[in-house]
Amino acid sequence: MFITIHIMMIIFLLAALHLHYSTQDRTMKDVVFGVVLWIVIIHNLTIFPVWLTSWDNYHYIYYAAPFSLCYGPFLYFYFQGSVYEKLSRRSLLLHGLPIMAGWMAYFIFIFSPEIRGQTQTWYYPVLYSCIGMSLIAYPTYIFSKQRQTANIPKIIYFSWYGVLLGLFILFMALQMIFHPYRDNQLIFKNNSITASLVMFLGVFILFTEAFQRFNSGFILEYKPRRSKGFPLRKSPHEPPSLNAVPPTKVTKESQMLDFYFSSEAIQNVKLNLKTAASQLKTTQKTLSGLILALYGTTFVKLLTRKRIEYACRILLSPEFDDSYERLPLRCGFKSAASFYRHFRALRHCSPTEFRHRYFEPANRKYSANIQ
């Protein structure tokens, strides 16, 4: 039962990793998500070679290694990457120090039998107490940021799971503290199945997140109205509704952003949050917060939508010369695969079908050219 659960976890993790790397775009939160997948995979893979040798090795490698100490800070990194689309060096250093300290203590504990014999009674309670408090503290911080997390898929699920895992690990730490006469290995054996089931829940959440990202082409919170075709317009120069994201209120800031995202700046392939903030003479954090407050989304997703809108205007222009190969680059996309994936996610058709559906009823020569 124990080994079967871990084999299933590895299968789900490998599938999630494949889905993750099958996508073209790479934002900061996607990088963090990929790192977390690798950490969980390594965490689960260590069980097999060690378990086949002896229980003592399994005990020291699987339960003593501070893999779970990484999950709290990386949840925070995922939140920062989703909201602000960047991670500062200060945040990486500040929240990464406990991880590095935990791993340094672990290697000293493993490779020094003398120190291991002296510290074994309190190493596990201290380690598991730190992990439990970390897994509860970081989600609590994220819960306090409800306004920012409203448009981040799965972040609440990750946070609640972190609380559940933290409470379970604290329960194990309390067993070691209040029952010091009991062997720690016996405590681990008694809780091994429960721990594996709790970990499997986390792996399943990671897999569903990877699958949803792949299936929706990273346009996660956008749910367009499904229709069989596009409404006809009286003038071929008037494009159909693109379901743009209107600002919640019209202000000078919203007018400035509308003008900026309608300019030639969005055609720049290298445009990112840092460049946009510099051109608008503001900070990255201020610009991200402004976009989130006015549009309820992130800079990357808003930029993607504006680029697709721009592509639609090009496709509906009578001057369009059917150069579909150059269209992704003209709209600011680095690759054709990314452009077509985002276009289909937003318009539910390919660029060729989009132009064909609009012009066929009004002018037969356009449909003849496309066919």
d(CA 55, CA 63): 11
288 CB-near residues (< 8 Å, 6+ apart): 83, 84, 85, 273, 298, 299
Give which of 155, 141, 146 is closest to 81, Cα–Cα: 155
Please give the average per-residue pLDDT across 244-260, as a whole number: 63
CATH code for residues 252-370: 1.10.10.60
Please give the average per-residue pLDDT across 245-262, as a whole number: 65
Task: Tell me whether domains 2-216 and 252-370 share a fold.
Answer: no
pLDDT band at 233 (very low <50, low <70, confident <90, very high): very low
Give which of 329, 310, 325, 318 is closest to 369, Cα–Cα: 318
Q: Which residue has the higher pLDDT, 53 or 248?
A: 53
Estimate to the nearest angstrom the gap between the alpha carbon of 287 and the chain centroid. 20
Whether the predicted pLDDT of 114 surpasses 80: yes
Q: Which residue has the higher pLDDT, 365 or 136?
A: 136
Q: State the average pLDDT for the chain.
A: 76
- pTM for the whole structure: 0.61
All structural domains of the chain with their residue ranges: 2-216, 252-370
Domain range 2-216, CATH architecture: Up-down Bundle (1.20)
d(CA 123, CA 106): 9
pLDDT per residue over 127-163, tens digit each? 889 999 999 999 999 888 766 655 565 778 888 899 9
Please give the average per-residue pLDDT across 293-302, as a whole number: 82
Give which of 338, 347, 268 is closest to 315, Cα–Cα: 347
Q: Which of 56-65, 73-82, 185-194 has the highest mean pLDDT?
A: 73-82
